[in-house]
Amino acid sequence: MKRYSLTTTLPYVNSDPHIGFALEIIQADIIARHKRAEGYKVFFNTGTDEHGMKIDQAAMEQGKDTQAYVDEYAAKFDRLKQALNLSYNSFIRTTDPHHIAAAQEFWKRCAASDDIYKKQYKIKYCVGCELEKTESELDHGHCILHPNLELEIIEEENYFFRFSKYQQPLNVLGDSGTG
């Protein structure tokens, strides 16, 4: 049987499901149903990203234990299945033991092939965006999208993926894709 896999993004569980994600998951559901109708065996994944400072802070603000908080929100997102009559057959949580095992195996293989290196770095980080902000993205020292939040200066040694090593093969892929 022909196989077809698709996944949505995994939303952060720092707030209730919003209409933007409903649009995304309904679009994915349409594709999944269409492929099944064409005779494919479809693996259709969605789930929740339960790691991040914003989540930890949201849990603290509500006076909840972080794990209890993410359990509650993961269940809220999974209820979309009934509410929107979705047909996904996999719901991954980044705290699932099999997800953790896969992430660790991925890390080990990357480390074994010298794809991971350590570097000192210092950035201005917006907790609201969960992103580094460069000077051009700031207004009077604040994130344009979150003017009420203070930026966090993060200075630490961290691990990086040696993406440059794959620039050439990815370029080749890109060329064959368009040509």
Binding site for Zn ion (CB under 5 A): 126, 128-129, 143, 145-146
Nearer to Zn ion, 145 or 170 (CB): 145
Nearer to Zn ion, 52 or 128 (CB): 128
Cα torsion 125, 19, 44, 177: sign: negative
- Residues with Cβ within 8 Å of 111's Cβ and at least 6 positions away in sequence, in order, are none
Task: Give strand pairing partners of 49.
Answer: 12
Q: How far apart are CA 10 and CA 49, in angstroms?
A: 5
Nearer to Zn ion, 56 or 115 (CB): 56
Strand, coil or helix: 173: helix
What six digits make up the tokens of 106?
A: 């991925």
CB of 143 to Zn ion, least distance (A): 3
Nearer to Zn ion, 76 or 146 (CB): 146
Q: Is 153 exposed, middle or buried (0-12, 13-18, 19+ CB in 10 A)?
A: exposed
